[in-house]
Chain A
Amino acid sequence: MPIMEHKSMAWRMSVNERKFIETALASDLRVDGRRPFDYRRLNIKFGREDGCSEVQLGETHVMAYVTSELVQPYRDRPNEGILAIFTDFSPMADPSFEAGRPGESAIELGRVIDRGLRESRAVDMESLCVVAGKLVWSIQVDLHIIDNGGNLVDAANVAALAALLTFQRPECTVGGDNGQDIIIHDPKVVEPLPLVIHHLPISVTFAFYNKGDIMVIDPTHKEESVMGGKMTATINSNGDVCAIQKAGGEGVMPSVVMQCIRIASVKAADITSKLKNAVEVYNTERALRKVKRHPSKMAHQVSVADITLEDKQVKDLPRHQAKMACQPYIGSSQDDEPKVDTRTSTNADGNSSGTHADAFVGGPSKWDPYPLRVGTSQVLGTLTVVKEEQVVSDDHRAVECSLDHTTTSSSGTVSVSDAMQKSNTSKSLKDAVKCLLEFFLPVTMDFWMTSVATEYWHFAVVKVIVLCAIRCLCQWLPSKLMKAL
């Protein structure tokens, strides 16, 4: 019967290595040639989906995934979202990791990262609330350890932060027939929202040797087997201490702990800048990915818009909308509201949109969703039934979504209406118009009400009438001028 190895003794360290590491550290030398307070090379990569990151710290390799779902909140926190961290110590990372239940070090790692994020309120929980007491977003961070080269806590922390920074959750609104339904908007239709992250808590791990006299940063796997004690300090770039973890090991003097925290704050600033750079590169690349998907059909469709807008009937409007591959954009939503009121179709805005279409190069410019006027009689259909599959081509949506983007609610409705408008169904255009109307009316009603309340109502009336008159004039005049000429 052959003698098999016992599983827990799969990796052994020789006496020579142990002694050598300690003697080298006594002369401030580390086995891989680093100085005692040097980090290994940090490499942050992202996957194709949002919220997926891969971090390599020297030989240590960690991946993080962030997912979200709607759940009921905890009873004692009815208007806060939920953040959960799950660690998976894969047996391929280290011979001592076993599949199945997480071991002690796995639980400790998850707990340290969770404390850094939750107690310091790095991730804003209240913005994850949808309906207080009933529905909130639950964000789950999955950390997978691919290779254990030492210092898993730091690598996993950076991976979790990178994934949270690039994660985007779907937009959801309260609406529906009875105004009570929660509608989750398809990320392809409505731009998803990033998480609100106030600051970045970075964890820095120290290993102690020789009864606490010698300390090094970012220990490798071999250094970790020889160390006497370990301490992790989680600090953000503002210098706030978010968490400290020293579980067992040799005792150290309080002065040593303070020195470690000071060193950690310097290192944290460095790592924060690296993380932010990597996230920025990824975000620009993601935005470019959406813009780039415009093939050359842009060019001739713009000229088509010029020609076909001239003498068309209003009822042909949806077909034209579909033909116009790209429209110039307006940065704000204020211009939209006046146009909704008028009922005649004119050439003016059509021409202006045509000329602006030539200037479209992929950057934000004048945007006009309704170059032709639509009559309110044509507005049919219900509001934002956004969950259905849109037949819209990715190109149009992507361009609008990426270029015209402010985080106010007005642009939220505007982007919804954009998406609507560009679809091939006529119903959606009317939906969009209706939703703009619905937005505009409450605003004026509020204005009206407050004015009445403050007894300046007559000013409000006059202002509204004047505004309407100006808009009508703006539409009629050019057409009249054209006819005169």
Chain B
Amino acid sequence: MNSMPSDSASMSFVDRVVVPGDHVLDLTGMANQTIKLGAGLRQDGDAISVMKAGKLRISKPNKYWVESSHKRYVPCVEDTVLGIVVDSKFDNFLVDIKAPMLGLLPVLAFEGGTRRNIPKFEIGTLLYVRVVKANNTMNPELSCMDETGKAAEFGPLKDGYMFETSTGLARMLLSSPPCPILESLGKSLSYEIAIGLNGRVWVNAASPSTVILVSNAIMNSEFLSAAQQKIMVEKLMKRLQ
């Protein structure tokens, strides 16, 4: 009985804008459940309170987080991001992921990585990595493997072009079902794309003009609705022909 009001209370906050200080979930009636808290939420005794302004999202069955769009990135565990190698130390690569602190990528965090086959990354290499540990007092720790230890597309990205956007646009591009802009571009052009939740996007295609077209289309689509995005892509295609 107690769980009902708290459920309805949390339901009422989901997908709505919340501000720091809001109590979105009451834990008194949820003794046997586990709840995963993502970015922007904190446990305050028996209630979950908000730390960041944004929209409260839920992913069934039990993951809650607050979503907002910024140009800076706050590292969160299990996020996949694009980083640029800044320096290499004895046991870590220093990688810039647009966070307040540099990320540390252990030299052994690769599939089949041993002291003998440490990869050589020059300064400026673009890497697709996963955030393993994120804490606001320590440098975030990264990895080029997934949880099971496989490479799973992580690692350096070759060629192509990278540009920076806001975190909101990056999340929109990563949404499923696929974002309308990526779909409509994919209907007429062939390209490959890697999206980091820190706002960095990498695009590669056969010809530079395709890359430029795709990157500019994505940058301009941030505040367009789905229909507007489709119209924009159609106009671009017409202009090409």
Contacts and interface: CB of A to CB of B under 8 A. Distances in A.
Contacts of B113: none
Given A14-B162, A23-B208, 5 more contacts: A5-B96, A14-B126, A16-B157, A19-B159, A24-B211
B124 interface: yes
Most buried by B among A9, A14, A29: A14
B175 interface: no
A16 B216 contact: no
30 contacts: A2-B137, A2-B138, A3-B102, A3-B104, A3-B139, A5-B86, A5-B96, A9-B86, A12-B86, A12-B96, A12-B124, A13-B124, A14-B84, A14-B125, A14-B162, A15-B124, A15-B126, A16-B158, A16-B161, A17-B161, A18-B124, A20-B161, A24-B208, A24-B211, A29-B209, A30-B212, A31-B161, A31-B212, A32-B212, A32-B216
A482 interface: no
B160 interface: yes
Contact of A15 (B96, B122, B209): B122
Interface centre among A12, A15, A17, A30 (most CB of B within 10 A): A15
Contact of A16 (B104, B126, B212): B126
B42 to A, nearest CB: 21
**Of A16, A27, A30, A31, which is in contact with the most chain B CB atoms at under 10 Å from its CB?**
A16
A33 B216 contact: yes
A33 B163 CA distance: 14
Interface of A: 2-5, 9, 12-20, 23-24, 27, 29-33
Contacts of A3: 94, 101-102, 104, 139
B202 interface: yes
A14 B208 CA distance: 17
A396 B6 CA distance: 69
B205 to A, nearest CB: 11
Nearest to A23: B208
A13 B86 CA distance: 10
Nearest to A13: B124
B137 A29 contact: no
Interface of B: 84, 86, 94, 96, 101-102, 104, 122, 124-126, 137-139, 157-162, 202, 208-209, 211-213, 215-216
A9 B95 CA distance: 12
Contacts of B122: 15
A5 B102 contact: yes
Contacts of B202: 16
Contacts of B126: 14-16
A85 to B, nearest CB: 32
Contacts of A31: 161, 212, 215
Nearest to B161: A20
A10 B208 CA distance: 28
B139 A20 contact: no
B202 to A, nearest CB: 7
A24 B210 CA distance: 11
Given A14-B124, A16-B161, A29 B212 contact: yes
Q: 4 closest A-B pairs (Cβ-Cβ)?
A: A15-B124, A20-B161, A24-B208, A14-B126
B219 to A, nearest CB: 9
A32 B218 CA distance: 12
Contacts of B104: 3
B84 A12 contact: yes
B63 to A, nearest CB: 28
Contacts of A14: 84, 124-126, 162
Contacts of A18: 124
Nearest to B99: A5
Nearest to B207: A27
Nearest to A33: B216
A14 B161 CA distance: 9
A19 B159 CA distance: 8
Given A12-B96, A20-B160, A23-B208, A2 B124 contact: no
Contacts of A29: 208-209, 212
B125 A15 contact: yes
